[in-house]
């Protein structure tokens, strides 16, 4: 990072120039701000690329068109080539978003600082959640928000009152961008659905047969469309292509397209005959290259545009010799050009991020999972909107089925019939086939190329995501068993896009307000907070990924033998038992002392146990399917233990909920005899749970008598304690609230002991089955 900043500084070479009286010291505050802005450019590149990588990776990754290493190499080459094709124009005042001449140098630096701090925090949040968003939209609304707030404050400082909005920001441009967002979302989904439906009827799912008939022509059209996309979206404005060449391409578009389709179709057909290649793999990789190149050529500049504009503003102010509060920023009215060496450095950072950043793959996983053809683990829960949409769609579908003649309906159904068990049991199976991946890239390229030629404010993220959702919908990937969850995911992503604009505007405005009134101290405080949040986010994300990796190893892989199954099962069970023990300890201690801090820790443990059991709940069938066929006892053990673990979670959650409600409502803590009961209950249950966990962990059931005796003593203690509370209730020594609290805790503890005992009994019966000729096979 330091090297890049130093190179940038030496290139402009104004820090050492004696003709600049305002910046003779490296401790000059504005000079330090420029260093910080250049550093944020690198951070913004990392978080921005992590989100935008989904645009050009999801089709190739989802269809497994090639090994991941090959896909990343293709995308990396596209990025590097795209950097050389970039026009290098900083869209700081994109479509006239704000009026630079209204601001002085010191105030425009507030806008730039607020925008960059907001952008890196906002995009990192989306990356951590695994949600794709538009980096362009976030930047646009951050500029609008920061400029709006700064403009109002500056106007009041000048005693001008509330300014005319048109003097500060361009309202019409903002409205155009918002309308373009809605338009791109709708059109992308509709066109993706229609084209996918038509081509699936033509090709069916039997691609091996249909490609021999139509593969060459389709590939020729797809390659032509993608190459045209490269010329329109990538080459336009490049220093490698002159304006005359671009004009010639535009004037001869029809002839170029016709000739290209013919040539590419013949070439593909020849290769299919000669080398027996699958042309769709080449189409997908070419599409990945083209979208990666277009991203680097057009969107990459968004991440470094604001810092570079700040650097050039600083250079211009130094040369003027004026006070920063008196120097108008008219220079930003024109296009701010970036040196190509700086774009190449940015491209290298993007490539490194592409290969190393786990958050980029998490965002890609979200889009791929929503378009997955087969059943699997759903990332989103259903909601009222998704249920309403799916319910309405089912009714409309039934109505259409009654209108369509049976012969046509039967023909279409036959074309959409999937090959039975094509990927069953193969964990390396693609999420969707190469035809859908090709259509994703084909339709996305066509829509983006058309929008660019018409100067429509389309978002690459919105187009690629909604095309992918449209094609998966048309491909009947959203079956009755998964539709409500997939639709919920799409609704959540779209809602997050709308929230992006609002949050970006308000957050950047708030940042600008703080910096405006607190100056450099406020900025550096906010920068320190941003650094803390990024580091914290990175640590938490890595911890969560490590936990998910451990869990996924349990449920992925080939067939399990009995030894593997027992090892993984008992590891999961003992982990749950230890979590239960910790929840009981924390909850009962919090209740006895009325300690809110201990209560918070208890609730955190309950949440962890809940998340762990939800993951087990969704993958239990997948796990049982992996157990070697014929071992019914092993499958039965896992399912029955899982059922008892669910009971444990419910009772642990109940105890935590009881204590939480009691403490947060400031009720009195238990006193006297019941306080002693709680202390003894915590100690006895912890000891019993530890004893059972050790027994299961070592699969050692020899001390059966000792454990049974411990269990009976614990159950007797709970029964006698319950009798004491009942007696006090009958004698009016306990109030309603305290009586109910004590009884519910004892009943929940009794159920926990029963469930823990039952879990141990299940493992004991599995390890020492009774000798019987009718005993099912283990």
pLDDT reported for residue 561: 62
Please state which of the ranges 90-94, 361-365, 622-626 shows the lowest mean pLDDT. Answer: 90-94
- Which has more pLDDT, 687 or 20? 687
pLDDT tens digits, 118-154: 988 888 887 777 777 777 778 888 888 888 888 888 8
Pair 196, 203: CB distance under 8 Å = no
Q: For the beta carbon of residue 639, count every other beta carbon within 10 angstroms.
A: 13
pLDDT tens digits, 236-284: 555 556 667 777 777 787 888 888 889 988 998 888 888 788 888 888 8
pLDDT reported for residue 528: 85
CA distance 157 to 191: 51
pLDDT reported for residue 770: 56
Look at the block and give the residue holding tokens 């859908």: 436
pLDDT reported for residue 539: 77
pLDDT tens digits, 704-740: 777 888 888 888 888 888 888 888 888 877 778 888 8
CA distance 642 to 616: 8
Q: How far apart are the first and last CA of the chain?
A: 59
pLDDT reported for residue 67: 87
Q: H helices of 158-206, where?
A: 165-168, 171-203
The separation between CA 78 and the C-alpha centre of its own chain, rounded to angstroms, equals 23
**b/e for 501-516, b at 16 or more Cβ within 10 A?**
bebbbebbbbbbbbbb
- What rounded mean pLDDT belongs to the chain? 77
The reported pTM is 0.71
> Would you call 459 helix, strand, or coil by DSSP?
coil
Which band of pLDDT confidence, cut at 50, 70 and 90, is reported for residue 8?
very low
pLDDT reported for residue 709: 83
Q: Is the pLDDT of residue 566 over 60?
A: yes
Which band of pLDDT confidence, cut at 50, 70 and 90, is reported for residue 687?
confident
Q: Is the pLDDT of residue 58 over 70?
A: yes
Q: What DSSP designation does 327 have?
A: -
| CA-based R_g, the chain, Å | 32
pLDDT tens digits, 511-561: 999 988 888 888 888 888 888 888 887 777 777 766 666 555 555 555 556
Cβ burial, residue 320 (10 Å; 0-12/13-18/19+): middle
Mean pLDDT of 496-522: 86
Q: Is the pLDDT of residue 164 over 70?
A: no
For CA atoms 751, 752, 755, 756, the dihedral sign is negative
In the numeric block, which tokens belong to residue 94?
Answer: 């994109």
Please state which of the ranges 17-21, 344-348, 501-505, 701-705 shows the lowest mean pLDDT. Answer: 17-21
pLDDT tens digits, 433-478: 888 888 888 888 778 767 766 666 567 777 888 888 888 888 877 7
Q: Is the pLDDT of residue 776 over 50?
A: no
Q: Is the pLDDT of residue 174 over 70?
A: no
Please state which of the ranges 25-34, 379-388, 608-617 shows the lowest mean pLDDT. Answer: 25-34
CA distance 203 to 756: 55
What are the CA-CA distances from residue 190 to residues 71, 197, 218, 367, 389 (Å)?
28, 11, 20, 18, 16
pLDDT reported for residue 491: 80
Which band of pLDDT confidence, cut at 50, 70 and 90, is reported for residue 7?
very low
């Amino acid at each position: 990072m330091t090297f890049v900043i130093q190179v940038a500084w030496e290139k402009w070479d104004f820090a050492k120039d004696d003709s600049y009286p305002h910046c003779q010291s490296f401790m000059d505050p504005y000079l330090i701000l420029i260093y910080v802005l250049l550093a944020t450019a690198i951070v913004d590149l990392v978080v921005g690329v992590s989100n935008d990588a989904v645009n050009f990776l999801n089709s190739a990754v989802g269809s497994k068109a090639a090994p991941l290493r090959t896909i990343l190499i293709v995308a990396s080459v596209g990025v590097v080539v795209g950097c050389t094709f970039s026009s290098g124009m900083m869209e700081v005042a994109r479509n006239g978003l704000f009026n630079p001449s209204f601001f002085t140098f010191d105030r425009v630096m507030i806008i730039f600082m607020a925008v960059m701090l907001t952008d890196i925090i906002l995009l990192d949040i989306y990356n951590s959640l695994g949600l794709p968003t538009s980096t362009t939209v976030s930047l646009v609304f951050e500029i609008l928000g920061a400029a709006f707030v700064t403009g109002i404050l500056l106007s009041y400082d000048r005693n001008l009152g509330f300014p005319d909005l048109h003097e500060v920001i361009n309202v019409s441009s903002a409205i155009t961008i918002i309308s373009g967002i809605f338009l791109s979302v709708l059109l992308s989904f509709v066109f993706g659905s229609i084209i996918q439906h038509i081509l699936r009827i033509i090709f069916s799912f039997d691609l091996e047969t249909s490609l021999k008939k139509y593969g060459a022509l389709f590939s020729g059209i797809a390659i032509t469309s993608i190459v045209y996309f490269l010329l329109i979206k990538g080459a336009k404005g490049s220093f490698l292509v002159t304006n005359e060449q671009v004009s010639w391409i535009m004037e001869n578009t029809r002839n170029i397209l016709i000739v290209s389709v013919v040539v590419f179709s013949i070439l593909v057909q020849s290769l299919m005959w000669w080398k027996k290649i699958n042309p769709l793999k080449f189409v997908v990789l070419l599409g990945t290259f083209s979208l990666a190149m277009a991203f680097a050529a057009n969107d990459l500049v968004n991440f470094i545009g604001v810092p570079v504009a700040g650097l050039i503003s600083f250079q211009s102010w130094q040369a003027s010799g004026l006070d920063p509060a008196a120097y108008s920023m008219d220079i930003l009215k024109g296009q701010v050009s970036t040196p190509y060496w700086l774009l190449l450095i940015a491209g290298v950072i993007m490539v490194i991020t592409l290969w190393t950043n786990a958050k980029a793959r998490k965002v890609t996983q979200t889009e791929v999972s929503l378009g997955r053809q087969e059943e699997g683990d759903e990332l989103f829960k259903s909601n009222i909107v998704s249920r309403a949409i799916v319910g309405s769609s089912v009714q409309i579908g039934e109505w259409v089925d009654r209108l369509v003649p049976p012969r046509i309906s039967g023909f279409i159904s036959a074309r959409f019939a999937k090959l039975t068990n094509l990927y069953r049991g193969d964990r390396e199976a693609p999420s969707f086939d190469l035809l859908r991946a090709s259509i994703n890239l084909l339709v996305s390229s066509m829509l983006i190329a058309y929008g660019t030629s018409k100067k429509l404010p389309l978002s690459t993220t919105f187009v690629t995501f909604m095309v992918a959702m449209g094609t998966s919908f048309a491909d009947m990937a959203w079956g009755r068993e998964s539709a409500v969850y997939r639709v919920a995911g799409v609704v959540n992503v779209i809602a997050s896009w709308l929230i992006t604009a609002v949050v970006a505007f308000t957050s950047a405005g708030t940042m600008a307000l703080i910096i405006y009134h607190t100056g450099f101290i406020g900025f550096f405080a906010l920068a320190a907070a941003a650094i803390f949040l990024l580091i914290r986010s990175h640590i938490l994300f890595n911890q969560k990924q490590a936990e998910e990796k451990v869990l996924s190893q349990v449920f992925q892989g080939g067939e399990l033998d009995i030894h593997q199954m027992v090892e993984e099962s008992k590891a999961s069970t003992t982990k749950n038992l230890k979590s239960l023990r910790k929840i009981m300890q924390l909850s009962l201690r919090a209740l006895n002392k009325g300690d809110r801090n201990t209560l918070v820790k208890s609730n955190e443990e309950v949440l962890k146990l809940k998340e762990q059991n939800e993951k087990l709940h969704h993958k239990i069938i997948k796990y049982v399917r992996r157990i070697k066929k014929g071992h019914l006892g092993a499958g039965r053990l896992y399912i029955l233990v899982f059922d008892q673990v669910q009971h444990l979670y419910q009772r642990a959650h109940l105890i935590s909920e009881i204590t939480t409600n009691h403490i947060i409502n400031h009720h009195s803590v238990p006193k006297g005899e019941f306080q002693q009961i709680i202390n003894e209950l915590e100690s006895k249950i912890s000891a019993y749970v530890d004893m059972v966990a050790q027994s299961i962990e070592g699969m050692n059931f020899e001390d059966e008598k000792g454990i049974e005796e411990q269990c009976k003593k614990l159950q007797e203690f709970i029964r006698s304690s319950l009798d004491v509370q009942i007696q006090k209730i009958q004698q009016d020594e306990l109030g309603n609230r305290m009586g109910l609290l004590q009884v519910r805790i004892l009943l929940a503890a009794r159920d926990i002991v029963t469930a823990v005992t039952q879990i141990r009994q299940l493992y004991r019966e599995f390890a020492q089955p009774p000798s019987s000729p009718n005993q099912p096979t283990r």
